Structure 1
């Protein structure tokens, strides 16, 4: 029996069908007492990846006491959603999503997320949980200017002596017209950056304000926006140079943000993380390792131990997806072609019709330990050329602790014109 037939047979023996929400309960049981549950996606534009993660997140919050959901999104925009779900500010769910106005808006300004945050809002309203209500946070690094604006607003509101340093740092970035590429070139090649101003600001904030007890998470808001400012400045300087630094800075930042949120919530914090498979699946089980790249899944496993981290990958055989042909272009619904022959998704399809769930344990990991191509679709996608760059060589059972396969998927449903929502 050749390797492909062995793999298909292993899937047939080890997978179970996924047809209803109750089929997810075995995943919940397998998570055990993990502190971090990482829920992936094979694209940023597939409806089922969002809806299934929503069902899992509900179960984790209700049944296992998870405190919050952290997503691959900007902190300022997500914190507005957090204000909605925790009842800090009265608004509609549509209004809560209006700050997702930077491309790619559809990742979080979509109907699937709207249903999730409405559920979180209702859960927080009805729960008698004594600890903090369930929150919604963004842990990405891109919101340099937005985070600095938030810092200034918070310092002005609270009369902090660090306000002057914040305005000086913001003024340093202003000549670059909120264009990261302009700042990156200036800082990396001409030495005209704002590293000194950022360092001074962070020193003053850290020593005089962050960590104070407060209402409506003001200190957490200030702390994470400060972290974004420092790491985004570093990220953009690294962005124009070849090598792994910019990617690694970004994923280390995501882990630092998770740790800041965890510290704020307290010792018993348990966190759900929504990110692309390329971030949550252990990089050491892919060809990323050869390029010197690390990711959130690897860093968390190394820092906290594999028993404290449960990573769940997602994939599909065919369907439709929301994406764009080039960065910044208008989005469109694209056909996702049948998986490439010899890929992980192709083997899942050949193992039999229908959606499937696989859980990897010491008893079966070796069956799925060989390297195989595993499809990854980003916000930029061209189906005609996916065989040249959309398949990541992966040891599936070492990259993830479990896997959900949706045989035929549908495109995400973006909320139109989020910036104009009222």
Structure 2
């Protein structure tokens, strides 16, 4: 896939719609229609405008189209605590911002920031006006929380199925020597290739049965959460073993886990449920329309399209030309505001800047193969060009802009719509101290 300059700026400007406020999202709401899956991306994990526009669209989806929950690129246990707060669960904190402040897995700023806190406070207020069974939830899709999920499984079994605690202890004892350090565990599996896989498999099988019993007894939430923590155990154990070997396997394990978690959430919420997903563009945009495919990588957007096309899937990408971003120059390092230089010449962002200098724009793409009544195509030709598309991870080094930080992309196949903001600003973390992390950087640069 060889990048080339995107179509003439005049053609891009002709196809741009205003992006000025919540009402300017009407054409995108029309495009979404009755779709059950709406995946909203971001070109970085540290840009306020991406979070703000996702919030505005998500609020409208929840209020006007009855979307059931928001699922994010975050850990299940942490996000479950947020879910309890925003849905007003008994005993949960009244202010979701306090729950977000307790997030301690690096990079904490991804979810512990003022933009997410504002959205979660709105969501709690919105939910408070609704009966419990219509309240919109907040869930984490990611795979990293091996030890937190193991402890959650142990606690659940101790309370609900005490006879099964021994099985949890077997898994706990297997991991215990690694002192909650996933890299140490991954290295140990080089000597004992099966690692803790047998213990985790046995625990998962047993917990599925226990979760079904609990679901029948308590309406399903406690049992579902416990089973999901067991699924995280299984996914994380495989992820950390694959991580040491390198290559695409660990990325693919992670994205399959996130897509599988989304499926479980939809099943749990019933046949009329609808999901909004917040993740990085590299997870949301269909990998088949990028050079990720040539590297053997799949992603959530691709998997959701493949599995649920008949239910309606809309993928929305985001990008900008320049500005500032919260990131770190190394994995596990301190977050700081960094300058994002002007986009690479000939990139998607550069072409949009030429078309909309200093402005923002919404692009809603006609489906591939769309034709007008006269027989001519109504799909802009520039959507099918191969171009460089910027991707900033939690680890960011602006000096690499000339040769890194971009993904070769056919934008009209990767997304169904795109939000462009010419100049963006760094978000505001709720806390800035780095947390210890045992995870390694993921491709590309921790997204």
TM range (shorter): over 0.9
Hey, what's the Cα distance between the residues in 2 that align with 1:345 and 1:35? 29
2:166 matched to which residue of 1?
A: 164
Alignment partner for residue 296 of structure 2, among 292, 298, 316? 292
Kindly indicate whether residue 95 of structure 2 is the aligned counterpart of residue 92 of structure 1.
yes
| CA displacement at 1:244 relative to structure 2 | 1.0
Which stretch has the larger CA shift, 150-159 or 114-123?
A: 150-159
Pair 1:14–1:345, CA change in 2 (3 A): same
| CA displacement at 1:177 relative to structure 2 | 1.1
Which stretch has the larger CA shift, 270-279 or 255-264?
A: 255-264
Map Cα deviations across residues 100-134 of structure 1 (whole Å, 9 max, x no partner): 11110000000001001001100110125x84310
1:122 matched to which residue of 2?
A: 125
Does structure 1 retain, via aligned residues, the 8 Å contact 2:360–2:421? Answer: yes
Which stretch has the larger CA shift, 402-411 or 155-164?
A: 155-164
Q: The residue matched to 1:190 in structure 2 has which SS?
A: coil
| CA displacement at 1:6 relative to structure 2 | 3.5
Does structure 2 retain, via aligned residues, the 8 Å contact 1:97–1:418? Answer: no
1:240 matched to which residue of 2?
A: 244
Hey, what's the Cα distance between the residues in 1 that align with 2:113 and 2:196? 35
Alignment partner for residue 137 of structure 1, among 117, 136, 139? 139
1:272 matched to which residue of 2?
A: 276
Kindly indicate whether residue 395 of structure 2 is the aligned counterpart of residue 391 of structure 1.
no
Hey, what's the Cα distance between the residues in 2 that align with 1:371 and 1:332? 33
Does structure 2 retain, via aligned residues, the 8 Å contact 1:132–1:265? Answer: no
Alignment partner for residue 427 of structure 2, among 405, 408, 412? 412
Hey, what's the Cα distance between the residues in 2 that align with 1:379 and 1:209? 35
Pair 1:293–1:369, CA change in 2 (3 A): same
2:256 matched to which residue of 1?
A: 252
Pair 1:152–1:119, CA change in 2 (3 A): same
Does structure 1 retain, via aligned residues, the 8 Å contact 2:5–2:387? Answer: no
Q: How does 1:3-402 map to 2 (within 5 A)?
A: 4=5, 6-88=7-89, 89-127=92-130, 131-191=133-193, 193-210=195-212, 212-213=215-216, 214-215=218-219, 217-305=221-309, 308-353=312-357, 354-361=359-366, 362=370, 363-364=378-379, 366-402=381-417
| CA displacement at 1:8 relative to structure 2 | 1.6
Hey, what's the Cα distance between the residues in 2 that align with 1:285 and 1:419? 35
Hey, what's the Cα distance between the residues in 2 that align with 1:48 and 1:161? 50
| CA displacement at 1:418 relative to structure 2 | 8.5
- What TM-score do you get using the length of structure 1 for normalisation? 0.95
Pair 1:307–1:261, CA change in 2 (3 A): closer
| RMSD of aligned residue pairs (Cα, Å) | 1.8
Hey, what's the Cα distance between the residues in 1 that align with 2:173 and 2:301? 36
Pair 1:322–1:397, CA change in 2 (3 A): same
Hey, what's the Cα distance between the residues in 1 that align with 2:204 and 2:129? 38
| CA displacement at 1:391 relative to structure 2 | 0.9
Hey, what's the Cα distance between the residues in 1 that align with 2:388 and 2:310? 24
2:441 matched to which residue of 1?
A: none
| CA displacement at 1:161 relative to structure 2 | 2.5
Which stretch has the larger CA shift, 154-163 or 54-63?
A: 154-163
Does structure 2 retain, via aligned residues, the 8 Å contact 1:106–1:415? Answer: yes
| CA displacement at 1:90 relative to structure 2 | 3.4
2:375 matched to which residue of 1?
A: none
Size of the aligned set, in residue pairs, is 417
| CA displacement at 1:209 relative to structure 2 | 3.0
Hey, what's the Cα distance between the residues in 2 that align with 1:175 and 1:221? 26
| CA displacement at 1:156 relative to structure 2 | 1.1
Does structure 1 retain, via aligned residues, the 8 Å contact 2:197–2:237? Answer: yes
| CA displacement at 1:388 relative to structure 2 | 1.8
Hey, what's the Cα distance between the residues in 2 that align with 1:65 and 1:419? 37
Which stretch has the larger CA shift, 319-328 or 29-38?
A: 29-38
Pair 1:180–1:365, CA change in 2 (3 A): farther
